[in-house]
Amino acid sequence: MKFLLLLFISVICLSACQTVEHNGTDYLKQGIDAYQRNDYKRAVNFFNKACNNNNAEACGMLGSMYVEGKGVQQDYTYAATLLEKSCNDNFTTSCGMLGVMYFQGTGVQKDLVQAATLLKKSCDDNFTISCGILGSLYLFGKGVPQDYAQAKTLLEKSCDDNFSLFCGLLGDMYYRGTGVPQNYTQAKTLLEKSCNGDFALACSTLGMMYSRGTGVQKNFVQAIRMFEQACQGGLTAACNHLALLSDYANSSKNKSKKKNITTQKQATKKQSTQIQNPMPDMMLHNQNTLQRLGIDINQ
C-alpha cells in the first residue's frame, strides 16, 4: 500500500463518519457501522447500495475499500471510477484521494496537472492533507509552476494539522534557504516534529545537522541516533551515514583508550601533540568519503 493513499484512507473514513452523524442515509450508516466492526464484506454491501443511490460519501468509502482490498479484491482502476463519481458529487475528500492516484499513476495514467486540479479542490474545502501534497507540487514545480511562496503556505497549513511529512518538507526549505530566509532554528523545530512522526528523511537531515554542527552544537552521538532512526525508516543514504559515523565513533573510543595508557607512561610534548588530532589511523581512508557527505570531523 502506497504511503499517501494510506494517509488518505484514514481521512476519508473520518470524513464519512462525520457526515453520518449529521445527515447520513440508512445504508451509509449501516455501512459505517459494519466497517467500524471490521465486517468489511457487509460494509461493502451497504456502501454499494448507498453508492447506487448516488450517495457521494458511500462511493468514496467503497472506492477506498477497493484501494485497500478490504472486503473486495483490490482493484485500483475501479477504485478510481468510484472516487471520481464521489468527487463529482462534491465529496471533496474523494477528490483528494483521486488526486493522489493521478499523482502516483495508481489505477489511472499519471497526470500531475490533473492531480494538482483535484488536490486544489480538496484543499479549498480544508482537507489539509491535500494542501500538503499540493504544496509539494508547487515546491518542485510538478504539474504547476514552481512557486515557493505558495508551497510554504500550503505546507504550513498541512503541518499545522499535524501531517508530519509536510513539516519535514517545510523544515528542509528553511534548512536549505529554499524560497525562505535560511533559518536553522526553525528548520530544527520542524524537522524534529516530522522525525517524531516517523518521516525518515527529516531524521536524516537532523543527523546531518548534528554531524556537521549546522545550527546546533556538533554531537556525533545525537547524529548517530538520528541516522539510526532514518535507517530503520528505510532510508538507504542514512544507513550509509550511520555506518561511517559509527565506525568513526568506535575507532575514536579505542584510540582514546590507547592514548590514555600511553599518556600515563610518557607525558611528553610529542604525545600531547598526538592527542590534539583525534582522527584514528583506520579512518584516514574514509576522510574523503566523510567530506563528500558534508561531515568535516576535524572541525
Cα-based angle 93, 99, 102 (whole degrees, multiple of 5): 150
Percent of the chain with pLDDT over 70: 75
Q: pLDDT-based confidence at 108, cuts 50/70/90?
A: very high
Distances (CA, A) of 158 to 41, 59, 97, 144: 33, 25, 15, 18
Domain annotation for the chain: domains and CATH numbers: 1-119 (1.25.40.10), 126-197 (1.25.40.10), 199-299 (no CATH)
Percent of the chain with pLDDT over 90: 65
Residues 279, 287 contacting (CB under 8 angstroms) = yes
Could you tell me the pLDDT band of residue 17, with boundaries at 50, 70 and 90?
low
> What is the mean predicted confidence (pLDDT) over 230-238?
90
The string of pLDDT tens digits covering residues 259-270 is: 554 444 444 343
Averaged pLDDT for residues 242-261: 64
Nearest in space to 148 (alpha carbons), one of 119, 122, 174:
174
Residue 56: what pLDDT?
93
pLDDT of residue 279 exceeding 60, the answer is: no
Give the C-alpha separation, 255 to 259, whole Å.
6
Confidence (pTM): 0.77
Question: Residue 194 is inside which H or E element, if any?
Answer: helix 184-196
Tens digits of residue pLDDT in 169-221: 999 999 999 999 999 999 999 999 999 998 999 999 999 999 999 999 999 89
Highest-scoring range by mean pLDDT, 83-97, 252-266, 275-289: 83-97
Which are the contacts of 234, defined by CB distance < 8 A and separation ≥ 6?
200
